[in-house]
Amino acid sequence: MAAGTLRPANELLAGDFSARSLPSGIAFWRSDLTALCSHEQHALIDRSLMIRLLLSPSPTELELDGRRSIVRPHEIFAYRAVATLGGVSRSYAGERYQCLGLHIHPDLIADEQIAQQVDTFLKQGGDLSISMTPSIAALANELFGGRYTDKTADLLCESWALNVIARCLDSVAAAPPKRQLTPSQVQSLLRVRDFINTHASEPLSINALAKEAGMSMSTFKQKYRHYFNETPFETVRCVRLDRALAALSSGQLSVSEAAYQSGYAHVSSFSDAFFKRFGRRPST
């Protein structure tokens, strides 16, 4: 798709959407849309790798091949569609969705080595939520807020896309071999994830989360990390930082208040964690 700004062709969303085909063969898109009403959008997704990075404070919900996934702000969400499948995205009235995305077909990638690596990655199927590096976060912020000529934009988009793909490939290569989870275990882990999102402002312990999952603490910690590629307390920290970002962006809290509510005794520690997640220092 050629570069350009498009207006949503329906009455469900308002804002801007732009897309461009990069020289590498990767499709890049950027959206800044506000939902005018709560709704679902259905689509068929062909065999491909989809990557989404949400920059707005609120998470979004996707249902891919019947499996519900939460796309959290400032995390790389990658979905590997090994065959054509149905997808459902849900939007809620008044929510603003600022997002960068990639749509990658291995057979369209110009570099043969990268195409082979992506194809191998794609064959594993399923979704991944991967933390960003500060450089990826900083470039994402620059891409979203900057205004560039087409050639400069292509170079920046290409750099960001290849860095994100490398991050996805590295995260899988570094992970230990995975054992299959049962459907009931997956449902238990998703229930705990929802529990964390609801109760993140409260004191949470591994023991309480394991009880919520109906597992022993050791089994819970192992299976949670196996499924979500992070520890339970990494999830808690990310949710609290996401809420701190939303509160700072709206002016509801000062930086010191946000640090305290996020569980940090020192603003400097909060600032370092904030920078690691979002690629910038906290400010009001």
CATH number at residue 259: 1.10.10.60
Percentage of residues in the chain with pLDDT exceeding 90? 30
Are 197 and 135 in a shared domain?
Answer: no
For residue 128, give the 3-state DSSP assignment: strand
Domain count, the chain: 2
Q: DSSP class of residue 86?
A: E
Q: Which domain holds residue 247?
A: 183-278
Higher pLDDT, 162 or 84: 162
Mean predicted confidence (pLDDT) in 180-202: 86
Are 18 and 101 in a shared domain?
Answer: yes
List of residues 6+ apart from 77 with CB closer than 8 A: 51, 52, 53, 54, 69, 71, 127, 128, 129, 130
Sorting pLDDT into bands at 50, 70 and 90, what band is 132? confident
Q: What is the pLDDT of residue 175?
A: 58
Residue 204 in this model has a pLDDT that exceeds 50: yes
Residue listed under structure tokens 């205004």: 147
Are 189 and 212 in a shared domain?
Answer: yes
Dist. CA 134–CA 153, nearest whole Å: 20
Are 192 and 154 in a shared domain?
Answer: no
Of the candidates 281, 279, 27, the one whose C-alpha atom is nearest the C-alpha of residue 142 is 279
Q: Where are the alpha helices (DSSP H) in the chain?
A: 112-123, 134-145, 150-174, 183-199, 206-213, 217-228, 232-250, 255-261, 267-278
Q: What is the pLDDT of residue 147?
A: 67
Question: 25-34, 131-140, 211-220 — which is least confidently predicted?
Answer: 131-140
